[in-house]
Structure 1
Amino acid sequence: MMGGKRVLHCDTCGMETEHLHRDVLDMDYNAILKPAMWNCESCYRNKRALRAIGGDPVAILDGRQIFVTGFMATGKSKISPILAALTRRRYVDTDEMIVEKARKSIPEIFEQDGEDAFRDLEHQCVIEVADGPSAVISLGGGAIAYGRNWDVIKVKGLSLCIRASVETIFQRLARKRDERPLLAGLTDEACVAKIKSMLKEREGYYARASTFVTSDEVKSPEDMAVEALNLLKALK
Structure 2
Amino acid sequence: MTRIFLIGYMGAGKTTLGKAFAREQGLTFIDLDWYIEERFHKTVQQLFTERGEQGFRELEKKMLHEVAEFEDVVISAGGGTPCFFDNMDYMNETGETVFLQVAPEVLFHRLKVAKQQRPLLSNKNDEELMNFICEALQKRSPFYSKAKHLFKADELEDRRQIQASIDSLRKQLEK
Same fold, TM-score > 0.5, yes or no: yes
Bigger Rg, which one: 1
Q: Where does structure 1 differ by over 6 angstroms across 4 or more consecutive aligned residues?
A: none
Provide TM-score, normalisation by structure 1: 0.68
**Structure 1 runs not aligned, ≥5 long:** 1-62
Measure how far apart 1:144 and its partner are: 1.0
Secondary structure of the residue aligned to 1:91 is strand
Measure how far apart 1:103 and its partner are: 1.5
Secondary structure of the residue aligned to 1:212 is strand
1:223 has 2:161 as partner: no
Tell me which residue corresponds to 2:73.
135
Q: Is 1:64–1:156's contact at 8 Å kept on the other side of the alignment?
A: no
Measure how far apart 1:171 and its partner are: 0.9
Relative contact order, CA 8 A, sep 6+: which one is greater? Answer: 2
1:185 and 1:108 map into 2 onto residues whose CA distance is: 18
| Equivalent of 1:172 in 73, 97, 110 | 110
Tell me which residue corresponds to 1:87.
25
| Residue identity in the other structure for 1:207 | S
Provide TM-score, normalisation by structure 2: 0.90
| Equivalent of 2:39 in 101, 105, 111 | 101
State how 1:1-236 maps to structure 2 within 5 Å: 63-217=1-155, 220-234=161-175
**Structure 2 runs not aligned, ≥5 long:** none
Tell me which residue corresponds to 1:42.
none
1:116 and 1:183 map into 2 onto residues whose CA distance is: 20
Secondary structure of the residue aligned to 2:46 is helix
Measure how far apart 1:166 and its partner are: 1.0
Measure how far apart 1:67 and its partner are: 0.5
